Structure 1
Amino acid sequence: MVTAGCQFGGESVIVQAENRALAAAFDQVRDARNTARLGDIVTGSGIGIGAWDRMYSFYSPVSEEKVNATLGTKDLDWKGLPQGSDSAIQVFVRDGKVVYAFDDKVPRHSVHATKYATPDSVVQTRETEQTGPLSSGPVRVLDIEEFS
């Protein structure tokens, strides 16, 4: 059985490459300095994952054991977990089953590792100050409402 972003062969999930349509949908909210529902952003991106009730984020590198422990899945085999430090894996779940997983590159739009977001989570733009050796100054980021 193949679904958008996941292939289940036995008990495995294949993590897909970064979804540019979803990244663009997040960027549009950030650039317009808007607020939106997470479910509307996902649906508006056209990625077609169907119904989901939770979104989890894991910063890489991450182990299968940590992902399975957080999601409550037993011995699910993860293919293509990113190992670079510039990635995060975004996992969409419905009723405890993974429906979509993808490798999210910088800038990431995620929640904290011990929390999750729902389709009704509010996504809002926030201004913050960035300081670093490559760039500094004000930047806009997105905050996603999360639950534990």
Structure 2
Amino acid sequence: MLVEANPYQTIRELSVALRMSQSTIVRRLKSIAKAQKIGLKNGLVVVFFILSAPNSDNELLAVQREQKLYGDIIMSDLVESYDNLVHKVHACMSFFTNYCREVSFLMKADDDVAIHFDRLLDSFQVNSDSEEKLFCSILNNTEPIRVLNDKW
């Protein structure tokens, strides 16, 4: 793991973990960096990038350069594959359990998800008496699409 031992003690409200593949880590989106700066300024949002093990020494060097610049990479020793996604999520949750105990919210999103932090933060109300919860949307009046030869 590239993140150093608990440099995030001031995180209070919300941490966001985004999964990015090795090929996209060097193409950091300006909007994410801007949102992170806004959140960090208020002590509300920290963005981390969860990566699988690099495929080459060149990729490892690129990730290490990114880490030195931004300090926001969690790197697992997992091979990048669809079957390992659940293990990457587990690595993310383990990191937050070990290093971010004071965080009220954890959100995991993939690299193809757009997050409007200003709108998101407005919708959260921190209640210290609340139990653990999972927030999601429900699509009403929908049915699964069944294809017999398809995995899903």
TM-score of the two chains, using structure 1 as the length reference: 0.29
Structure number with higher helix proportion? 2
TM-score of the two chains, using structure 2 as the length reference: 0.28
